[in-house]
Amino acid sequence: MSNPLRVGLAGLGTVGASVIKLLERQSTALASRTGRAIAIAAVSARERGRERGVDIAGFQWFDDPVAMAQSADIDLFVELMGGDEGPARASVEAALGAGKSVVTANKALLAKHGMSLATLAEKQKVALAFEASVAGGIPIVKTLREGLAGNEIRRVYGILNGTCNYILSRMELEKLSFEQCLREAQRLGYAEADPTFDIGGFDSAHKLAILTSLAFGAAVDAEAIHVEGIQSISLADLEAADELGYRIKLLGVAERSEHGIEQRVHPTMVAKSSAIAQVMGVTNAVTIDADAVKELTLVGPGAGGEATASAVVADIADIARGIRSAPFGLPVALLGHVARLPMQRHEGGYYIRLCVHDRPGAAAAIATRMAERQISLESIMQKGRGGRGVSTGAPVPVILITYATSETTIREALEAVVKDGYIAERPQVIRIERD
């Protein structure tokens, strides 16, 4: 058997501690599967004496992760600190520069510096592995990069943030407000004290940038993604979606279109009959549309110590076997550039909720504005009118579902509706993702 693979682990939070436990628990099996023992040789974290539920006394300690990354006492550097700059970036660059392979779970680092890091890994002929960076325990990176290498990908989309899926699931099932569900997510540790990164869609965008690169042979560029969060979703929207046969999910979507590769993160209506609509709570799911396998959906835990550690250890095992793939599926020089496509070019169905003043001519005026722009309506639903059908003049919700049309057309029609003065508040618009 070959010499042991000596691992330097930077970051001893929930995931780091779980990696240590998993490597210890599966040490014999991993040695048999890879042909060599895998051993933690050194660790680094901000606080040495903190209780973590694992014994680190037998590992060499480094206060500075960069020094550990360059140490001759390790063969592989595992970065679990997080952040797109600072110690995470410095130590990963140091490890690659020293000719050591790197395993990371850091989607923010990859979304911002993935191309430069992959270039450095190629130059040094070492591995840069990041299965844990997207969708936790779901093996989506290897699926796209290796498992579907013989397929042409048409679309990849999914629930990439468990916090948002938890909030939307609880709002729907328990009829709670967004604010109530967010507070509960924070109490349970699913959301940070400042939840903007999650609920604003930015976490999903970082992950989608990585998936887009793997699926379409494109350079990672999170700035090319249109991003919307879930802050505007109300219980009224969820109830209307349910009545119409849909669920609302925050999706990250990348797909080929006649204009190029469209990348977007936003709340989306999905048919309740679809596989992705069944995914509730903090679970993640990714669906791939490809020419050979048609549709493939992977579902699993998107976060948590054990699930994320599983993905980290899978990458460690590959490196122990001597496997080294191009990080993003192709050499960096062959990765194409994906320009940001304005959402105005998006085409699809739309859910529109209008708060309409209940007075004569309002509905006809709205229908006229839609017809003027050749927007075909699949359904119209009006609720809340006064008893016996009597107009009260008070605003009532009117729900429109359109057939496929363009974002530009929808926005122009709604701008005209607003100017007509028949609606009491800003229209709510949610895109519909068809199967």
For 371-386, what is the mean pLDDT?
82
Tens of pLDDT, residues 225-247: 999 999 999 999 999 999 999 99
Q: Is the pLDDT of residue 390 over 70?
A: no
For 217-224, what is the mean pLDDT?
94
Largest CA distance in the chain: 84
φ/ψ bin of 356: left (φ > 0), alpha (ψ from -120 to 50), beta (otherwise): beta
Residues 169 and 271 in one domain: yes
Residues 178 and 61 in one domain: no
- Could you tell me which of 402, 162, 296 has the C-alpha nearest to residue 414? 402
Cα–Cα distances in angstroms (integers) from residue 340 to residues 43, 222, 268, 393, in the given order = 40, 9, 20, 44
Q: Is the pLDDT of residue 343 over 90?
A: no
**338 assigned to some structural domain:** no
pLDDT of res. 338: 81
Q: In what order do the strands lie in the sheet with 2-10?
A: 60-62, 36-44, 2-10, 76-79, 101-104, 128-129
What mean pLDDT, rounded, does the chain reach? Answer: 93
CA terminus-to-terminus distance, the chain? 50
Residues 30 and 92 in one domain: yes
- Could you tell me which of 290, 268, 291 has the C-alpha nearest to residue 279? 268
**40 assigned to some structural domain:** yes
Residues 114 and 197 in one domain: no
Tens of pLDDT, residues 35-67: 999 999 999 999 888 888 999 999 999 999 999
d(CA 350, CA 113): 35
For 411-418, what is the mean pLDDT?
93
pLDDT of res. 243: 93
Q: Is 207 a catalytic residue?
A: yes
Q: State the DSSP code for 221.
A: -
74, two tokens: 């390790």
Tens of pLDDT, residues 280-313: 999 999 999 999 999 999 999 988 899 999 999 9
On whether the CB atoms of residues 165 and 284 are closer than 8 A, the answer is: yes
Residues 103 and 154 in one domain: no
For 91-100, what is the mean pLDDT?
98
Tens of pLDDT, residues 152-183: 999 999 999 999 999 999 999 999 999 999 99
Q: Is the pLDDT of residue 388 over 80?
A: no
Count of structural domains, the chain: 3
Bridge-partner residues for 3, per DSSP? none
Give residue for tokens 């925050």: 250
Q: Is the pLDDT of residue 381 over 90?
A: no
Give residue for tokens 């936003």: 266
On whether the CB atoms of residues 249 and 267 are closer than 8 A, the answer is: yes
Residues 265 and 369 in one domain: no
Q: Is the pLDDT of residue 340 over 80?
A: no
Residues 19 and 128 in one domain: yes
Of all residues in the chain, the percent with pLDDT exceeding 90 is 82
With residues binned 3-state (H G I as helix, E B as strand, rest as coil), the percentages for the chain, rounded to 5, are 40, 25, 35
Helices within 261-325 (DSSP H only): 305-321
Confidence of residue 258 (pLDDT cuts 50, 70, 90): confident
pTM exceeds 0.85 for this model: yes
Give residue for tokens 């970036």: 89
* SS3 at position 280: coil
pLDDT of res. 392: 57
Q: Is the pLDDT of residue 150 over 70?
A: yes
Candidate list 100, 112, 207, 249, residue with the active-site label: 207
Confidence of residue 114 (pLDDT cuts 50, 70, 90): very high
Residues 104 and 168 in one domain: no
d(CA 300, CA 302): 6
- For residue 9, what are the domain limits? 2-133
Identify the CATH number of the domain in which residue 253 sits. Answer: 3.30.360.10
Q: Is the pLDDT of residue 387 over 50?
A: no
Q: Is the pLDDT of residue 204 over 70?
A: yes
Residues 159 and 14 in one domain: no
Confidence of residue 88 (pLDDT cuts 50, 70, 90): very high
Residues 120 and 242 in one domain: no
